[in-house]
Amino acid sequence: MHEKYGPIVRISPHELHINDPEYYDVLYSRDSPRDKYSYYTGQFGTPMAAISTISHAHHRLRRSNMNPYFSMARIRKLEPAIQILVDKLCNRLKEFKGTGVPIVVQYPYTCFSTDVISDYTMGTGFHYLDEPDFIPHWSETLSAIAKATVFFKPYPWLLYWLKALPEGLVGRVDPGMNLFFVFQRRCKVLINSVIREHSEPDYEEKRKSYDHPTFFHDILDSNLPPEEKGPERLAQEIQGVIGAGSETVAKTLTWLTYYLLENKDKMDKLLEELNRLDPDRTATVVDLEKMPYLTSVMLEALRISYGVSSRLQRICPDRDLQYKEWSIPAGTPVGMTSVMMHHNEDIFPDSYNFVPERWLDPDRRKYLERYLVAFSKGSRQCVGIKLGSIKLMREFPEPRITGSIEAQTQMSQQHNRGTAGCRGDRGLSAVPEDRPAAHRADSHHLSYRRAAPTRVDWRGGSFIMPASTTTFICPNPAFILAAACHEGIHSKRHGNRTMDTLSLYRPGR
């Protein structure tokens, strides 16, 4: 539509959409009031959480007590706890070496992300990494919920109707929802326990029994009004934080794994840089942040995985907005989209390919970071941006994961009306196997045979990632990956890679 009608388009009777990277900082302002659009917030079913708060002033009140908890200084104090979970993930993957059992890598990544954020916010992790099969229903349920929001936006009553159904009935229809119900109950039990302790005389003594102050302790000790400290509101808040923080990081790690597999030269450069780390000590995030190619890989992974791929509307409640010659009345929902930002060819040339090198030049990186909006921007920016960055930086550079890799994949693509997630119930699969030490130095190349020609999008360029907010691409069950551990892993190739593509909307068609 933007190709045909220009940079600003009315996409519904009530909403506008803008495709102009230079306007992003104006719309997603940090200094001016910005409300959210009720059509968007209704999809979550958590009206009392900060993510669903419509009013700018009310959101500011809630976020003011969350921001210190998710500050970089606070997070870095818990870096050793994150490293423990990284070690656990690596050790779990090593258990599959030589067994021939495939691993869907999004499952352990989701378990890792969930354990990190649950331990950080609740003081007690869910220990999903301890599950023998990485509880696939959890990852699949989070993906299914993300996809289902496309129905909850226009019909928010549907979500409340589903919540009213007996849990046993819903669990029989979708076994994965049982895990979600358990997750909700665990949150509520812990919240009620902390609230009860908070009112007791020996509260300070009991608080010391936690490894670190929890998210709930910070809220209860804050100067928020009593209605902001109720168990239901805290439950909704923590469910939103854990749900969003688990799926998005796992998705980014999954895609990063795939793109490094597909690009041998990128993997070689990354491994060469990681091999410079001192093997006798554990590298800190500060050490990793000084590695130019590693940080470039992470930035490119965030760019090409988008964060939230659907449009994010903002409303200026108190004055008209001006976009070029158009005046936008106060109270009008206006949205922009990370996918369009990240695929702007003037800013990110060759945007459909994985090119970490674009970030290597310091001056160029500073310029490009203005347009990297995986976490959005402004006063409504994702509260977990620093924790998410730490999880990515801490987990993927682990040599036991990013060692030598070979892979063969079959790709598929489907239309999904702007939701983010994976197709069906499978993602990247991994078969860890031992390989001779003599071959470690040169056996992590990647080779593909194409059973069908690569297709092109309507812009005329070849692609393997979404060409619009309405499409995403995901490996299907045939993807066999050899994920690397410290000693190295080798795999046999099976089958060919094929590519299905969706005919995207072309203006005037």
Reported as a single tens digit per residue, the pLDDT across 21-31 is 999 999 999 99
More confidently predicted of 492 and 296? 296
Strand-pairing partners, residue 474, are 412
What SS3 class is residue 81?
helix
**Mean pLDDT, rounded, for 187-196:** 87
- The residue behind tokens 């388009």 is 9
Sequential DSSP letters for 300-327: HHHHHH-SS-S-EEEB-SSS-EEETTEE
> What pLDDT is stored for residue 16 in this prediction?
96
pLDDT at residue 336 greater than cutoff 60? yes
Round to whole Å and give the CA distance between 24 and 377: 8
Q: pLDDT band at residue 457, thresholds of 50, 70 and 90?
A: very low
The predicted-structure confidence for 345-374, as pLDDT tens digits, reads as follows: 999 999 999 999 999 999 999 999 999 999
Structural contact between residues 53 and 62, judged by C-beta atoms closer than 8 angstroms = yes
Superfamily of domain 2-481: Cytochrome P450 (1.10.630.10)
pLDDT at residue 323 greater than cutoff 80? yes
Q: What is the pTM of this model?
A: 0.79
Round to whole Å and give the CA distance between 112 and 125: 10
More confidently predicted of 261 and 376? 376
**Mean pLDDT, rounded, for 219-226:** 90
* Domain locations in the chain as residue ranges: 2-481
Tokens at 135, concatenated = 């509880």
Q: pLDDT band at residue 401, thresholds of 50, 70 and 90?
A: low
Q: Is 382 annotated as contributing to ligand binding? A: yes
Round to whole Å and give the CA distance between 292 and 126: 34
Rounded to a whole number of angstroms, the distance between the first and last alpha carbons of the chain is: 11
* 8-12, 131-135, 200-204: least confidently modelled range: 200-204
Nearby residues of 106 by Cβ (< 8 Å), 6 or more positions away? 139, 250, 251, 254, 422, 427, 428
Q: Dihedral sign, CA of 176, 146, 118, 114?
A: positive
More confidently predicted of 156 and 395? 156
Mean pLDDT for the chain overall? 76
Round to whole Å and give the CA distance between 208 and 200: 14
The predicted-structure confidence for 73-124, as pLDDT tens digits, reads as follows: 888 888 888 889 988 988 888 888 777 777 888 899 999 999 999 888 888 8
Which of 94-103, 182-191, 269-278, 280-289 reaches the highest mean pLDDT? 269-278
> What pLDDT is stored for residue 397 in this prediction?
58
> What pLDDT is stored for residue 398 in this prediction?
57
Round to whole Å and give the CA distance between 42 and 38: 6
pLDDT at residue 322 greater than cutoff 90? yes
- The residue behind tokens 């059973």 is 451
* 36-50, 146-160, 416-430: least confidently modelled range: 416-430
Structural contact between residues 442 and 390, judged by C-beta atoms closer than 8 angstroms = no
Helix (H) or strand (E) holding 321: strand 321-323
**Mean pLDDT, rounded, for 188-211:** 81
